[in-house]
Structure 1
Amino acid sequence: MYAAAGAHMAEASRKAPLPGSPLMTLCGLISHLRWVEYYWFHVIFLGEELAGPLTEATDDDPDPEMRTAVGIPLPRLLAEYEEQSARYRRLVSEHDLDSTAKRPLSDGRRVDLRWVILHLVEETSRHNGHLDVVRELVDGRTGA
């Protein structure tokens, strides 16, 4: 029974049930959250060079981390996100919230760690709503 449920979820996690949003899959959203957090903590706050699928973004393909995620098993995406989240909790605990980001935003502003965290709370909240809607459309269950 669990193997069948697991196989169904693996297939369902790659479905894009919203016609106007072909990248809006469970896998795509998890990957997007992972790479958005990477961008804000590593690239903006720590000033590191951009790496991973975000380096492939173009005007025609602005979200390659969502497109390529359908080829990655959901358990792996979740494990990588969980591991990364643990690293970011440590990073935040090791820095003062008033610490200034090493890299400025595109408009030239230099934000602090507090701003980065608040921005990520907003981003994660928005996409958690998307995840809930997509999950409901995929599995048909409400209130779960």
Structure 2
Amino acid sequence: MPSAWDERTQLTTFLDYARDTARAKCEDLSDEDARKAPLPASPLMTMSGLVNHLRWVEYYWFRVVFLGEEDEGPWTDEDPDREMRIAVDLPLAQVLDEYAAEAVRHRELVAGHDLGARAQRAAGDGRHVDLRWILLHLIEETARHNGHLDILRELIDGRTGV
């Protein structure tokens, strides 16, 4: 690691690391195991559901909030967690591939914009955050869910330390 990276390199490297960690936690996991919800009070908490959630969270923050695109995410007012629910109907490899493809698109998007550029749409609290804030939020969100993935993986098959 270089002794000094510019801010963009630091932020994108940390986000890539968190993404790679999420994918690593799914290594050698069967589709059946990826669909298991081992926490009785959390039926949507599955490995595939969390990875699909991460994919769609990035889509939402980068494309809907930052770029101002129309929201074409899988969620609805009636089913706000639908991205987690539908993941159990998909092969894990597809969920991981779609997450990786979104990451490529978002790396290109970040490379083409100033970190101080303001989002086209307001965040949930009404503020127009900048790209820097979005990157920091996605690092935090992905790292937090990596902890969930780690717990789920241990409960599913005992694997730890990925």
TM-score (norm 1): 0.89
CA distance in 2, matches of 1:90, 1:110: 21
- Aligned residue number for residue 42 of structure 1: 63
- Deviation for aligned residue 1:140: 1.5
- Deviation for aligned residue 1:108: 2.0
- Aligned residue number for residue 95 of structure 2: 77
CA distance in 2, matches of 1:141, 1:111: 38
Task: Give deviations 1:10-66, integer Å, cap 9, x for gaps.
Answer: 110000001111000011001000001100001100001110312x243xx320000
Specify whether residues 106 and 143 from structure 1 end up closer, same or farther in structure 2 by C-alpha distance, changes over 3 A only.
Answer: closer
Query: Which portions of structure 1, spanning 4 or more consecutive aligned residues, are displaced by more than 3 angstroms?
Result: none
For these two proteins, the number of residue pairs brought into alignment is 135
Residue identity in the other structure for 1:9: S
Q: Which runs of 5+ in 1 are unaligned?
A: 1-5
- Deviation for aligned residue 1:106: 2.9
1:88 to 106, 114, 119: 106
- Aligned residue number for residue 28 of structure 1: 49
Q: Which runs of 5+ in 2 are unaligned?
A: 1-27
Residue identity in the other structure for 1:27: S
2:137 to 119, 124, 133: 119
- Aligned residue number for residue 3 of structure 1: none
The answer on whether the counterparts of 1:57 and 1:63 sit within 8 Å (CA) in structure 2 is: no
Identity %: 61
1:63 to 62, 74, 81: 81
Task: Give deviations 1:97-124, integer Å, cap 9, x for gaps.
Answer: 0001001123321110000111111100
3-state SS of paired residue (1:53): coil
CA distance in 2, matches of 1:57, 1:133: 29
3-state SS of paired residue (2:122): coil
TM-score (norm 2): 0.79
Residue identity in the other structure for 1:130: H
Residue identity in the other structure for 1:116: I
Specify whether residues 57 and 28 from structure 1 end up closer, same or farther in structure 2 by C-alpha distance, changes over 3 A only.
Answer: farther
CA distance in 1, matches of 2:52, 2:125: 26
CA distance in 2, matches of 1:52, 1:12: 25
